[in-house]
Amino acid sequence: MCRWLAYTGSPILLTDVLYTPAHSLIDQSLHSRLGAETTNGDGFGIGWYDAAPVPGVFRSIEPAWNDANLRELAGHVRSPLFFAHIRAAIGSAVQQTNCHPFRHGRWLWMHNGFIDGFATVKRDLVLAVDESLFPEIKGQADSEVLFYLALSFGLDDDPAAAVARAIGFAEACGRARGVQYPFQGTIATTDGKSLWAFRYSSEGKSRSLFFSRDIRAVRQLAPDREILREVSDDTRLVVSEPVGDLPGAWVEMPEASYGMVSKAGDQLLPFTPEPPPKARYGSGRVVHRRIAATRC
Amino acid sequence: MCRWLAYTGSPILLTDVLYTPAHSLIDQSLHSRLGAETTNGDGFGIGWYDAAPVPGVFRSIEPAWNDANLRELAGHVRSPLFFAHIRAAIGSAVQQTNCHPFRHGRWLWMHNGFIDGFATVKRDLVLAVDESLFPEIKGQADSEVLFYLALSFGLDDDPAAAVARAIGFAEACGRARGVQYPFQGTIATTDGKSLWAFRYSSEGKSRSLFFSRDIRAVRQLAPDREILREVSDDTRLVVSEPVGDLPGAWVEMPEASYGMVSKAGDQLLPFTPEPPPKARYGSGRVVHRRIAATRC
Amino acid sequence: MCRWLAYTGSPILLTDVLYTPAHSLIDQSLHSRLGAETTNGDGFGIGWYDAAPVPGVFRSIEPAWNDANLRELAGHVRSPLFFAHIRAAIGSAVQQTNCHPFRHGRWLWMHNGFIDGFATVKRDLVLAVDESLFPEIKGQADSEVLFYLALSFGLDDDPAAAVARAIGFAEACGRARGVQYPFQGTIATTDGKSLWAFRYSSEGKSRSLFFSRDIRAVRQLAPDREILREVSDDTRLVVSEPVGDLPGAWVEMPEASYGMVSKAGDQLLPFTPEPPPKARYGSGRVVHRRIAATRC
Amino acid sequence: MCRWLAYTGSPILLTDVLYTPAHSLIDQSLHSRLGAETTNGDGFGIGWYDAAPVPGVFRSIEPAWNDANLRELAGHVRSPLFFAHIRAAIGSAVQQTNCHPFRHGRWLWMHNGFIDGFATVKRDLVLAVDESLFPEIKGQADSEVLFYLALSFGLDDDPAAAVARAIGFAEACGRARGVQYPFQGTIATTDGKSLWAFRYSSEGKSRSLFFSRDIRAVRQLAPDREILREVSDDTRLVVSEPVGDLPGAWVEMPEASYGMVSKAGDQLLPFTPEPPPKARYGSGRVVHRRIAATRC
């Protein structure tokens, strides 16, 4: 049910991250060890930042392992911040508009997991998407709808809170329709400057997620490795499952937590979804404008 | 902006209709004469009936003219009732779920044209789709949403009225958003027994549509042509633009009209969209339940 | 490295063979148990006979497990003799012209395995293909070249001998270039009437191959199963690995053997490649004209 | 029958050349004015140089006009030397390995035109390809075989002479098989430093080809245009048909000529194919080693 990778640090050729390491993400498209499925062959996508005003996105319905164009691009595109995602579809069509990462303006978004009972709650969820954003939904994936919910609930202003509201809203809608565990998964999102990664599931058994230790510590695990010396000290990877052959380089993200990686320093914090306010109007608390106006 | 063809009659090999004639539909994918665009290369689809409980659908994002699989299928599939559509996309992604014909149960649906200002009215329109049908919408095309509106408004019970309501509703929503001419196009739909074809546009300048004359009259135009002798007397084609080399075989469908082809005989009637009732409740007329409950 | 299935018997809907059974071929595209690779996701193909002069072929570069069109076709195409193949590419491009089955006239051909060191012997092999057949080679797969060698060496006249010559020639060419075990694999071929299946490898460790027992015996394993009662007594399946849930229904093809299934009765015989004659001209034996004129 | 564009100059975002200008190459994929076909929708490709040891190549079987990934790449890839090609297939399959540009090491190659009677001469031609290069031929296009002939005949050492030998050889083989006008087309090739462009046809009616005037002169045609001021003085475009809205910016390449663009200065010279030596051995002249050893 998908695997992904997010890189932030000094500019690097994508192939050095996506293809070169042992048990690379491309290898995981055929041989995932920790994923819900061994094979993640229902399309893929990459999104990367450079000098252009919006990030580039390259998505395809072919399996990542046999795609000649992905291999070419990875050998020629260099970026200080990029996402890569390999997909194992569960229900929605194999088409580019269902491939991650999704993009809106400067934002990228990718997800490994699902909204359980999505067919029953989809209408509730898309109705809560801001009307100005509604026509931007291009595909039919639950992950994309979640992205547009987060955008509607303030991703630009307070990313962690917006994701908490989006998942909280999805959980409320699911439970209202009788779904026991409405949300499962890990999410990465970025505005091209900072990177947020979330690990959470309603059931408390979330998909695997790891982040790389401080690169200065990783270098000591393999002092001769050139690539580790080349990248800057603030380089960080977040991955569905470890890549490379240095197990000591990785820390598992705790259940129900999220991390933020930014120039100002990195943070790892607990994650709790924010349920929508019970009453539509008149709540004593000050709540987010939009979420206050929506109901499952 | 698309071309299509609908065949009903004695079972025939698809290739005899789609490839063999002069200026065939496949040729029109490269060289349309009457279409809004010369090239209709943004995917295609066929839908056909046989002994199976639902019609088969084969859709692809490749241009029809170079698709080896379409050529193969057309040479091996035989059907008494089939649709074929070639697409010229205007905005929505080139993906199978946006290719016509669309299918729901026994129904097929295809469209040449557009809902003008679709981005501004899409939310209004999908909200009017029956909640049970909502999760069935697979793509992002205006044509598919129109199909689900027609299904919501009674396609199963009274196809012509349901289409009139769907287009009437789309027009009302469009006008409410300031769109001058909300609907443009021709539509074909079938339940596997009868065939309905519509030609209408809010502007009164509709895309071209033709139906074949009684096959007994057509045979006299080319008495030696084997294929014309082989097909049954009730064989009928409806096409965006004439195929073959017998101009006398075709009658142009009048502006704002629709036709029905069935075992019980064929009909050609005026078409008028049915606007939704002004008041939500309490109308004196008995109106269709669902349309009464929706508003733009 | 690929899995395949060949069916001959009374006409059957392809889906009843390809999708319905437990551990079906489509399931094997994700979860092969006996193949060299678990995943066979680099394209697929089907070839089927009906009333048309040549068999139909539908091939795609998508994984079989997620292909909507394959599912559609399988639910609507009925045939008394068909091939299906799922591919795990090893080197050659993922493109339709490299997908099996290959077709020439009435013949279909599919292969699971490889010609080892193909890059070094490819020129030798294609030079031995009949000049009239040479332009028909459409892709770059070793399996297709082997097919054209077999056609050049008399497939039309004596299929088993032609395959023995083709493999014998490939082995001779490989060994002349220092390849230890030049050929590996299983092959199925048919002219639309009879079916030949081969299991052989230079190393003596061939890819798995099974054929179904006499259907009358299989029926006794599951007397209630409707599909087994419906098919005719002469129905036979040959498969890379067993499908369904009746292990007793299958017999493993012996190492270095081939079988023929035809109206005149079935045969299972030892298979020995036929090396090309040592001397180019003047051999005392009467040898096949073409093979006598070729050398590695 | 294809259109192409070659750019050399200061590094530029591909989109500024491929999408932005009036009647851009992407527009020509739908609306070519001077091509043999209006529509060039059978795939496309780009090849570009950057710091990597070999040029990047991105090729697809989709029409260029609707390909979302091409649009993305063009907006993010910047290069001082790149090729772009849109294809109108004539016979060979629509697959990536038949899409231009073709690459070998540092070389790129693209072609608009055909080898007439290719099926009859293909065997002759591929037999003349150097044995070490033979396994590198990936597709089935005449253009690719011509590239490998040129590589076999010395492209690395003397590009213009090698192309003259390749076309001369193709003409000799064609005429030996009764083809009146064996070669038609325009060719671009580059080693990443210099660019060679050829216009020639056996019939003397070659496909259109244009090169841009000295950019200093072009700037005077539109002094306000920013892009013209940004690019360096040695910037040069070679195109199948003019792009942009400045007809005065283009010079038609004469029939039977070739041009070379390099740091050392540009040249425009007559082009004459070099027929292979009549006698296989013993020629008094010193001829190119390989071509001396080949015969049609």
Average pLDDT estimate for A69-85: 98
CB contact under 8 A, C76 and B76: no
User: Token pair 């008495």 is at which residue?
Assistant: B223
Going by C-alpha positions, the residue among B296, B295, B291, B292 that lies closest to residue B281 is: B292
Q: Give the pLDDT of residue A91.
A: 79
In order, the DSSP letters of C222-244 are STT-HHHHHS-TT-EEEESS--S
Q: Provide the pLDDT confidence category of residue D284 given band limits of 50, 70 and 90.
A: very low
Q: Which of D95, D127, D135 sits opposite C97 (nearest CB)?
A: D95
pLDDT in tens, D209-237: 999 999 999 999 999 999 999 999 999 99
Provide the percentage of residues in chain C whose pLDDT is more than 90. 88
Residues of D in Cβ contact (< 8 Å) with A75 = 52, 56
- Measured in angstroms, the CA of C250 and the nearest CA of chain D are apart by 39
DSSP A253: P
Residues of C in Cβ contact (< 8 Å) with D174 = none
Both tokens assigned to C163:
């395959």
Q: Which chains touch C (3 or more CB pairs under 8 A)?
A: A, B, D
Apex CA D7: angle with CA D3 and CA D8, to 5°? Answer: 155
Q: Give the pLDDT of residue C252.
A: 97
pLDDT in tens, C217-243: 999 999 999 999 999 999 999 999 999
Read off φ and ψ for residue D228, nearest 5 degrees. Answer: -70, -30
Q: Give the pLDDT of residue C280.
A: 38
Q: Give whole-number Cα distances, C21 to A91, C26, C75, C237, in Å.
A: 21, 10, 14, 13
Q: Which of A95, A119, A127 sits opposite B97 (nearest CB)?
A: A95
What is the crossing angle of helices B159-176 and B142-152, to 10°? 120
Residues D296 and D173: beta-carbon distance below 8 Å: yes
Residues C164 and C272: beta-carbon distance below 8 Å: yes
Residues of C with CB under 8 A from a CB of D: 93, 95-97, 118-120, 122-123, 126-127, 131, 134-135, 137-140
Neighbours of B282 (CB within 10 A): 7
Best of A14, A57, A76 to disrupt the D interface by mutation (most D CBs within 10 Å)?
A76
Q: Which of D97, D122, D134 sits opposite C134 (nearest CB)?
A: D122
- Measured in angstroms, the CA of C199 and the nearest CA of chain A are apart by 27
Q: Give the pLDDT of residue C132.
A: 95
Q: Give the pLDDT of residue A1.
A: 65
Q: Which of D119, D122, D135 sits opposite C122 (nearest CB)?
A: D135
Counted across chains C and D, CB pairs separated by less than 8 A come out at 39
pLDDT in tens, D120-165: 999 999 999 999 999 999 999 999 999 999 999 999 999 999 999 9
pLDDT in tens, B209-259: 999 999 999 999 999 999 999 999 999 999 999 999 999 999 999 999 999
Going by C-alpha positions, the residue among B159, B156, B119, B151 that lies closest to residue B135 is: B151
- Give dist(CA C132, CA C104) in Å, integer: 12
In this model, does residue C291 exceed pLDDT 80? no
Closest residue in C to B78 (Cα) is C77
Q: Which chains touch D (3 or more CB pairs under 8 A)?
A: A, B, C
In this model, does residue A291 exceed pLDDT 90? no
Tens digits of pLDDT across chain B (296 residues):
699 999 999 999 999 999 999 999 999 999 999 988 899 999 999 999 999 999 999 999 999 999 999 999 999 999 999 999 999 998 789 999 999 999 999 999 999 999 999 999 999 999 999 999 999 999 999 999 999 999 999 999 999 999 999 999 999 999 999 999 999 999 999 999 999 999 999 999 999 999 999 999 999 999 999 999 999 999 999 999 999 999 999 999 999 999 999 988 899 999 999 999 864 333 333 335 555 556 67
Residues B49 and C72: beta-carbon distance below 8 Å: no
Apex CA A206: angle with CA A204 and CA A207, to 5°? Answer: 170
- Give dist(CA D154, CA C284) in Å, integer: 45
In this model, does residue A280 exceed pLDDT 60? no
In this model, does residue D290 exceed pLDDT 60? no
Q: Give the pLDDT of residue B204.
A: 97
Q: Give the pLDDT of residue D91.
A: 79
Q: Give the pLDDT of residue C278.
A: 65
Read off φ and ψ for residue B57, nearest 5 degrees. Answer: -135, 130
Average pLDDT estimate for A65-69: 96
Going by C-alpha positions, the residue among C99, C119, C84 that lies closest to residue C42 is: C99
Best of D61, D97, D103 to disrupt the C interface by mutation (most C CBs within 10 Å)?
D97
Q: Which chains touch A (3 or more CB pairs under 8 A)?
A: B, C, D
* Number of helical H runs and strand E runs in chain D: 9, 13
Best of A2, A30, A39 to disrupt the C interface by mutation (most C CBs within 10 Å)?
A39
Residues B42 and D62: beta-carbon distance below 8 Å: no
Could you tell me the pTM of the whole model? 0.94
In this model, does residue A7 exceed pLDDT 60? yes
Q: Give the pLDDT of residue B235.
A: 96
CB contact under 8 A, B75 and C52: yes
CB contact under 8 A, B41 and D39: yes
Q: Which of B97, B120, B134 sits opposite A122 (nearest CB)?
A: B134
One-letter amino acid for residue A57 of the chain? V
In this model, does residue D8 exceed pLDDT 80? yes
Residue D221 burial class via C-beta count within 10 angstroms: exposed 0-12, middle 13-18, buried 19 and up: middle
In this model, does residue C286 exceed pLDDT 80? no
Q: Give the pLDDT of residue D263.
A: 87
Average pLDDT estimate for A239-254: 95
In this model, does residue D281 exceed pLDDT 50? no
In this model, does residue A234 exceed pLDDT 60? yes
- Give dist(CA A92, CA C26) in Å, integer: 18
Counted across chains B and D, CB pairs separated by less than 8 A come out at 31
Mean pLDDT over each residue of chain C, to the nearest integer: 93
- Measured in angstroms, the CA of B84 and the nearest CA of chain C are apart by 15
- Give dist(CA D126, CA D142) in Å, integer: 10
In this model, does residue D283 exceed pLDDT 60? no
Counted across chains A and D, CB pairs separated by less than 8 A come out at 41
Average pLDDT estimate for C28-35: 91
Least confidently predicted of A229-243, C78-92, C280-294, D51-65: C280-294
DSSP A275: P
Best of A2, A62, A140 to disrupt the C interface by mutation (most C CBs within 10 Å)?
A62
Q: Give the pLDDT of residue B90.
A: 81
